[in-house]
Amino acid sequence: LRRGLEKGARAYGEANSWASVAKKHADLYVQAISLS
């Protein structure tokens, strides 16, 4: 059970980091459009 929880927590953390990376890229993209 604990191993499953650790795997779930790791997957959750990876999903969150990917979401933050995607948001950062989206913000940069919006900035680039508004500058051009």
Q: What is the pLDDT of residue 1?
A: 86
Q: Which two tokens stand for residue 33?
A: 């459009």
Q: What is the pLDDT of residue 36?
A: 82
Q: Where are the domains of the chain?
A: 1-36
Q: Which two tokens stand for residue 19?
A: 């979401």
pLDDT single digits (tens) 1-36: 899 999 999 999 999 999 999 999 999 999 999 998
Torsion on CA atoms 21, 23, 28, 29, rounded to nearest 10: 110
Q: What is the pLDDT of residue 3?
A: 93
Report the chain's terminal Cα–Cα distance, integer Å.
53
Q: What is the pLDDT of residue 11?
A: 94
